[in-house]
A and B are shown apart, each in its own frame.
Chain A
Amino acid sequence: MLKKPSLLATLAVLAVAAAAAALGVVTAPKTLNAEQPAGVVLGEKAPEGATPAQWRVIWTSNPATSATVSWTTATRTRDNLLLLDTQPRGGKAAEYAVKQAATESYQYTGSDELWVHHVRLADLKPATKYYFATASDGRASREFYFTTAPEDDVPVRFLYGGDSRSDRDARRLMNRRIRTLAEEDPGLLCFVHGGDYVHDGDKMDQWTEWMTDHELTICADGRVLPIVPTRGNHESGDVQLDQVFDNPGGKGLNYFATRLSSQVLLVTLDTEISAGGEQAEFLRRTLKDNAKCRWQLANYHRPAYPAVKEPSVAKQHWVPIFEEFNLDCALESDGHTIKRTCAIRADKPADDGVVYIGEGGLGVKQRTPENDRWYFKDGVTGANHHVQRVTADKDSLKVETILHNGKVFDTWQRSPRKR
């Protein structure tokens, strides 16, 4: 027979466990909830205590074989674990093939209470589903999953969008749209964010809202769309972007090349550091080394061919390289409009030129574009919250601009170049 204090202790443990389960966590790693528990909706609550929250899967250079899984806790936690497997494990922690401790855990700069945990994964198998849960000091999340990029020549689809900084309702609306697009399309590979996540990139209260809102992009079945991050001017020089996304490309030097398949190259550039010099050399080297790659795209924040503002230095330092190596399409943000230019070469319309698409609509007030600029003849402009879906296969590269309500506003397509 149990003594009274033991009985009380048992009841207390059960009560805590029940409360924890109701919050979507268990005192794991004994069991994990495979389904999101009733009453817990992603994207609604700021992190609390040691309960993992604000999950991101981050892609930079080698998405076929590597990724970073990151999450936030609202207190310092000692044991931060990623449980990983290629099979769903239904919440049974002991069954996960890999239990990897956080590569890095530290407090976000400018926050009294928020801690970030990054687990860097390497040697993953291409085009493979990875099921994972995160656990901090024994409090585990539900199970999620992501799919690594393929290494062979298969059709690729991904989302692109920028500027989510100032209209939170619109941001959440667009995140739900991203989730719907992902749920409708299991083959959708990742989400490329073109920068300007928040208004003040050094304010953690804004970043934590963004990260909670980012949970809304997670599919109902737990699928997380990996994010390819880009630095915008609202994060210019701010360490928080590097902390949220695990130094994408390098601390303060956020440029890198991503192979999304054997025939799709995405070069992410940083318009907040010197564009010429080393970054231009990197761009030239990357495009030269990948000269035979069928589809070549670039992604950066401040536009070379803007719909509202003046051109950034990308125009002087990068556009000549794009043209020399026959880039297919440049994805640009910052302007808070919809735009697609005509194909441009040597600052003139040219059928074999580069097309510039953007320009930021993931949660910002839209501006009326200057559609009388010469490069919009045979192009498209608009003003509405939007995201772009890029489809690259053997025969064509297609970019669709999709509005917040799911309507396709614009579709552009090009055939492969002779490379």
Chain B
Amino acid sequence: MMPPPAIHGPARTALAAAAAVACVGTAVRQLLYGGPVFSWLYFEADWTEFWALRIERGASFALLALAPLLFWPRARAAAALASAWLFAVALCTSALAARHEVLQLPAQATRWLAPLALVLPLTARLPARWLLRVAAAAVFAAHGVEALLGEPLFVDYLLGLPAGSTLGQKWAEALLRLIGGVDLLAAACILLPKPIRLCAAWMALWGLATATLRVVFGGWGAWPETVVRLANGLVPLALWLLWSPRQKDASC
């Protein structure tokens, strides 16, 4: 008989939602624009366009089919498959990145680690929680470093906000450095041995807010960009739920 999962209750629902949105967002982006796995297979590994496209499209439809299954605790194979593809996406993003290559794998950590946490059994309760902490910390640390380095895309997102144009580039860059510092602090805080629920709450809110920023900036057509990033808020939300004082095992 299959052992019960490491994460259960509302936290599991939040985690399954994180994994599901990562699957849906990734699949839709791949179908609409072509993804990094296609680019890597076609341009770097010299596959034919036909097969690189077929592989990625096949994976996209598989991800869409897997997404609802992730809410079912027994569908661990589905979670494992989703995690494997999302990891491949992060790996190819890193291989193709024009700058900050080493930051790409951690920057997408919630996407490929959330489904992996769904796979772990109850006996791995502690590792599963640490996996979630590491995932959230990695995403915030990677984005924090990019922000401190003045990532032009982030500056453009700030300037593209409704009041952003009044901000001006210098202030947008200064604000970005501040945001980067806060992100790094949050990343360190979530890894402290004693769970700090406030930190998880902040990360959940900030993760959801920055994901929403993509549609605010890019219009409704950018919804897959928002959806794929919702995992950055949902994983800390799962931690916040796990660390509820009403939970018997809220100690890690």
Residues of A bordering B, CB below 8 Å? 166, 201, 233-234, 236-237, 272-278, 280, 308-311, 313, 315-317, 365, 367-368
Contact with A along B63-94 (1 / 0, CB 8 A): 00000000000000000000000000000000
B15 at the interface (CB under 8 A from A): no
Known: A365-B43, A368-B49. A274 touches B34 (CB 8 A): no
Give complex CA distance A272, B168 in Å. 18
Contact B99 A236 (CB under 8 A): yes
Q: Is the CB of A237 within 8 A of B99?
A: yes
A234 contacts across to B, CB distance below 8 A: 98
Q: Does B32 contact A (CB under 8 A)?
A: yes
Smallest CB–CB gap between A54 and chain B, Å? 24
Closest CB in chain A relative to B33 CB, distance in Å: 4
B1 interfacial contact with A, CB 8 Å: no
The interface residues of chain B lying within 8 Å CB-to-CB of A280 are 159
Interface presence of B160 (CB below 8 A): yes
Given contacts A308-B33, A309-B34, contact A274 B98 (CB under 8 A): no
Q: Does B116 contact A (CB under 8 A)?
A: no
Q: In the complex, which residues of chain B have a beta carbon less than 8 angstroms from the beta carbon of A368?
A: 49
Please, which residues of chain B bring their CB within 8 A of the CB of A308? 33-34
B42 within 8 A of A: yes
- A316 near B217 (CB under 8 angstroms)? yes
What 1/0 mask marks residues of chain B from 103 to 139 whose CB sits below 8 Å from any chain A CB? Answer: 0000000000000000000000000000000000000
When each residue 151-184 of chain B gets 1 if its CB lies under 8 Å from chain A and 0 otherwise, what string results?
0110110011000110011001000000000000
- Chain A nearest Cβ from B212, distance in angstroms: 16
- Contacting residue for A272 out of B29, B152, B169, B172, CB 8 A: B152
Cross-chain contact B98 with A233 (CB below 8 angstroms): yes
For B46, the closest partner residue in chain A by CB is: A365
**Contact (Cβ within 8 A) B43 A277:** no
B218 at the interface (CB under 8 A from A): yes
With A234-B98, A367-B49: A274-B218 Cβ-Cβ less than 8 Å = no
Most buried by B among A234, A316, A317: A316
A275 touching B152, Cβ below 8 Å:
yes
Known contacts A237-B98, A310-B33; 5 further A-B pairs (Cβ under 8 A):
A237-B99, A280-B159, A317-B160, A367-B34, A367-B49
A277 touches B33 (CB 8 A): no
Residues of B within 8 A of A273 (CB): 152
CB distance from A385 to the nearest CB of B (A): 15
- With both chains docked as a complex, state the minimum distance between the C-beta of B229 and any C-beta of chain A, in angstroms: 14
How far, in whole Å, are A309 and B165 apart by their CA atoms in the complex?
A: 27
CB distance from B96 to the nearest CB of A (A): 10
Shortest distance from the beta carbon of B84 to any chain A beta carbon, whole Å:
24
Q: How far is the CB of A115 from chain B (nearest CB, A)?
A: 27
| Residue contacts A-B, CB under 8 angstroms, 18 given | A234-B98, A236-B98, A236-B99, A237-B99, A272-B98, A272-B152, A274-B159, A276-B156, A276-B159, A276-B169, A277-B155, A277-B159, A280-B159, A309-B34, A313-B153, A365-B43, A367-B49, A368-B49
How far, in Å, is A399 (CB) from chain B's closest CB? 25
**The one of A276, A277, A310 that contacts B32, using a Cβ cutoff of 8 Å:** A310
In the complex, what residues of A have CB within 8 A of residue B159's CB? Answer: 274, 276-277, 280, 317
Hey, which chain A residues are within 8 Å of B99, CB to CB? 236-237
Query: Taking CB as reference atom, which chain B residue is nearest A270?
Result: B152
In contact, B155 and A276 (Cβ under 8 angstroms):
yes
* Chain B hits for A317, CB < 8 A: 156, 159-160
CB nearest neighbor in B for A275: B156
- Complex CA distance for A52 and B217, rounded to whole angstroms: 49
Residues of A with C-beta under 8 A to B172: 274, 276-277
Q: Which of B42, B156, B169 meets A316, CB within 8 Å? A: B156
**CB-CB under 8 A for A274 and B156, given A308-B33, A309-B34, A368-B49:** yes
* Beta-carbon nearest neighbor of A167 in chain B: B43
A198 to B: closest C-beta gap in Å: 12
